[in-house]
Amino acid sequence: MPEHVLLRDAPPTAPRLAPPAARPAGQLLQQVLQQLDARLDGEPDCGHPMYLAHMRKPPHAVARAAYARTLHRQLNNHPYDGAGASSGMELECVRQLGGLFGWRRPLGHLCGGGTLANLEAAWLAREGLRERFGQAAEVVLAGSTQAHYCHARHARLLGMRWEPVASDWRGRMLPQALQRVLERGAATCVVASVGTPALGAVDPLPEIAALCARHGARLHADGSYGAYHVLAGNLDRATRAAVDALSEADSIVVDPHKHGLQPYGCGCVLLRDRATSEEPTQAGAFPAPVVSRGAKGPPAQDPDYVYDDAHGPHLGRIALEGSRPGASAAALWATLRLLPLVRGGEFAAALERSRQAALALWQALHDDAHWVMLAPPQLDVLAWGVRAGGVAESSRRARAVQQAARERGLHLSLTRLPGEAAVARAGMAWDGPQWLGLRACVMKPGQLDWVERIHGALRAAVRTVAC
């Protein structure tokens, strides 16, 4: 049906663009697209090197092309016969992402993003812990005070108790604090962050894994932002040890739509390698469904009209989400073919370069008396404060610098900085409710050539607000 007919037939409340008869459909389409462009024009370009506000970068050209090529087919990776080809690609992607951590046969799938992937991991953890400790057991989800806010939400949603674990002045979980939580003896799943959202901190996974093993706790690693860094050859020693210990987790989340160059709507949850797992698995290529067939769940949980076993492995059986874009799997699959996940490869080199840029920016700011620096970044997100006598004035200046920088085309975000660092390291008075600082996500390799300009814009911005 031509567009103008649709518009004429639209209900009276729908926006009216023009009388249909006066404008041919092609012209109307142009008009709508121009309006769209005008609406988008005010948005900062996240691909620009001066954009450091959030964990965003444009998808790779191959991802965009593969997505666009697949989009019109409206493939649905929930049932196998909704998208056999792209379901196969998804399984290949999952295997390759698991390979990052030395897992040869991981169970997992793509999903809408880190929040959903972490929700699913928490749900599975709860189910596993209830099976071990009894259905009435109180199940605890424990993560550092710097963990992404989705974990506390998930705990609430799933009827688990959220237990915040203290972190150090760099934003890393304190193993001693975790030990105290685990000694209370509850059925616990520990969330270790590989790249906290605010400070880019990496929790000490080797120590956390050892504590979990000793206390019978589950270990989930939230590597939404940082798990790809296992490929980077320029991590410091503690960070290297942490990412190398990812293989010891029971589940891992990694977001291809953050560092993996994918369009939004691409997260991934992975469960421990089935080759080493003690969890029961189904014979054959595909794992047992999360919601088991027959005995436990009502038939509505496993509808035959969706999961006709004649077809093949239904990803929907192991995913909470229903319909999911096959185009997303196709985009990731194509990206992984062009940029394989290997150390020393092109993809790894890009991660190394953006980390180098983050370190160079940290060093430039460190050598400039206007700022109060935390430790060097562990990955490629960094946060720092504005020098002042107390945290109240420092926070006010941070807001003002953010605004002044934006006027110079430099986009940063604000974040809460660890108080211990303000008082103990910078000698600032604790005279406010919190300490706000600036945050930069230096996630684009090209930013290495822009460090001077970024620093220059920051220097100019801080001069307008600090005395």
Ligand X SMILES: Cc1ncc(COP(=O)(O)O)c(C=O)c1O
Using CB under 6 A, pick the residue from 203, 255, 352, 380 that binds ligand X.
255
Nearer to ligand X, 193 or 239 (CB): 193
Report the 10 Å Cβ neighbour count for 467.
Answer: 5
**Which residue's CB is nearer to ligand X, number 79 or number 143?**
143
Closest distance of CB 38 from ligand X, Å: 28
* The Cα angle at residue 154 between residues 114 and 437, in degrees rounded to 5: 65
Nearer to ligand X, 59 or 197 (CB): 197
Residue 54 Cβ, how far from ligand X at the closest point, in Å? 8
Q: How far is the CB of 210 from ligand X (least distance, A)?
A: 22
The number of beta carbons lying within 10 Å of the beta carbon of residue 264 is: 13
Stretch that binds ligand X, among 163-171, 218-226, 289-297, 414-422 (CB under 6 A): 218-226
Q: Which stretch binds ligand X (CB under 6 A): 161-169, 222-230, 355-363, 406-414?
A: 222-230
Interaction of residue 197 with ligand X, rule CB under 6 A: yes
Rounded to a whole number of angstroms, the minimum distance from the CB of residue 267 to ligand X is 5
Smallest gap, in angstroms, from Cβ of residue 122 to ligand X?
Answer: 12
DSSP label of 322:
S
CA-to-CA distance for 455 and 452, rounded, in angstroms? 5
Q: Is residue 114 a contact residue for ligand X (CB under 6 A)? A: yes
Q: Which residue has 């919601």 as its token pair?
A: 291
Assign 164 to helix, strand or coil. strand
Please, which residues have CB within 8 angstroms of residue 107's CB and are 6 or more apart in sequence?
A: 94, 270, 271, 274, 281, 287, 318
> Amino acid letter at 328?
S
CB of 381 to ligand X, least distance (A): 9
- For ligand X, give the closer residue by CB, 55 or 331: 55
* Residue 377 engages ligand X in binding (rule: CB under 6 A): no
The contact pattern for ligand X, residues 135-154, with x = CB under 6 A and - = no contact, is: -------------x-x----
**Closest residue to ligand X in the complex (CB):** 114
Contact indicator for 229, 252 with CB cutoff of 8 Å: no
Residues 6+ apart with CB under 8 A from 208: 173, 175, 178, 190, 192, 219
Residue 68-107 contact track with ligand X, rule CB under 6 A, x = bound: ----------------------------------------
Structure tokens at 129: 């812990």
| Shortest spacing between CB 421 and ligand X, in angstroms | 20
Near ligand X in 165-194, by CB under 6 A: 193
The one segment of 182-190, 217-225, 309-317, 403-411 that binds ligand X by CB under 6 A: 217-225
Shortest Cβ 112–ligand X spacing (Å): 7
Q: Which of residues 41-60 bind ligand X (CB under 6 A)?
A: 55
Core vs surface per residue 84-97: b (16+ CB within 10 A) or e:
bebbbbbbebbbbb
CB of 258 to ligand X, least distance (A): 7
Whose Cβ is closer to ligand X: residue 87's or residue 144's?
A: 144
The residue within the footprint of ligand X, chosen from 82, 108, 128, 195 (CB under 6 A), is 195
> Which one, 192 or 405, has the nearer CB to ligand X?
192
DSSP per residue, 37-50: HHHHTTS--TTSTT
- Tokens 């160059």 identify what position? 261
The secondary structure of 269-317 as a DSSP string is EEE--TTT--S---SSSSPPPSS-TTTTS-GGGS-TTT--TTT---GGG
Smallest distance from ligand X to CB 222, Å: 5
CB closer to ligand X out of 238 and 288 = 238
Write out the binding residues for ligand X, residues 223-252 only, by CB under 6 A.
224-225
Q: How far apart are CA 108 and CA 279, in angstroms?
A: 14
Instruction: Please report how close the Cβ of residue 413 comes to ligand X at its closest, in angstroms.
Output: 11
Total Cβ atoms within 10 A of residue 231: 21
Do residues 184 and 137 lie in contact, with contact meaning Cβ atoms separated by under 8 Å? no
What minimum distance in Å lies between the beta carbon of 296 and ligand X?
Answer: 29
315-344 residues in contact with ligand X (CB under 6 A) are none
Strand partners, 189: 141, 218
Among candidate residues 297, 276, 259, the one with its CA nearest the CA of residue 107: 276
Site residue total, ligand X (CB under 6 A) = 15
User: Between the CA atoms of 83, 87, 88 and 91, what dihedral angle is there, to the nearest 10 degrees?
Assistant: 180
Nearer to ligand X, 197 or 313 (CB): 197
- Binding region for ligand X (CB under 6 A): 55, 113-115, 118, 148, 150, 193, 195, 197, 222, 224-225, 255, 267
